[in-house]
Amino acid sequence: MKTSFKTAALIGKYKSPEIAEPLLQLARFLEQRGVEVLLDRLTASHIGDCPYPVLRLEELGRQADLAIVIGGDGTMLNIARTFAPYDVALVGINQGRLGFLTDISVDTMFETIGAILDGEFVAEDRMLLAAEIFSGDERVFEVLAFNDVVVSKGVKGSMIEFEVRIDGQFIYNQRSDGLIVASPTGSTAYALSAGGPIVHPSLNVMALVPVCPHTLSNRPIVISSDCTIEIVVRDADDPRAHFDSHSHFELREGDRIVVRRYPHAISLLHPAGHSYYGMLREKLNWYRE
Q: Which residues does the annotation mark as catalytic?
A: 73
Rounded to whole angstroms, how far apart are CA atoms 214 and 96? Answer: 39
Rounded to whole angstroms, how far apart are CA atoms 41 and 157? Answer: 40
Rounded to whole angstroms, how far apart are CA atoms 45 and 41? Answer: 6
- For residue 15, what are the contacts with CB-CB under 8 A and spacing of at least 6? none
Sort strands 54-55 and 36-40 into parallel, antiparallel or unpaired: parallel
Rounded to whole angstroms, how far apart are CA atoms 43 and 282? Answer: 30
**8 A C-beta contact, residue 233 and residue 254:** yes
Q: Can you point out the beta strands (E) in 136-238?
A: 138-145, 148-152, 160-166, 169-176, 178-182, 205-211, 221-224, 229-235
Rounded to whole angstroms, how far apart are CA atoms 46 and 13? Answer: 10
**8 A C-beta contact, residue 234 and residue 173:** yes
Q: Roughly what angle, to the nearest 10 degrees, separates helices 109-117 and 20-32?
A: 40
Of 162, 159, 177, which is closest to residue 253 (Cα–Cα)? 162
Sort strands 89-94 and 66-70 into parallel, antiparallel or unpaired: parallel
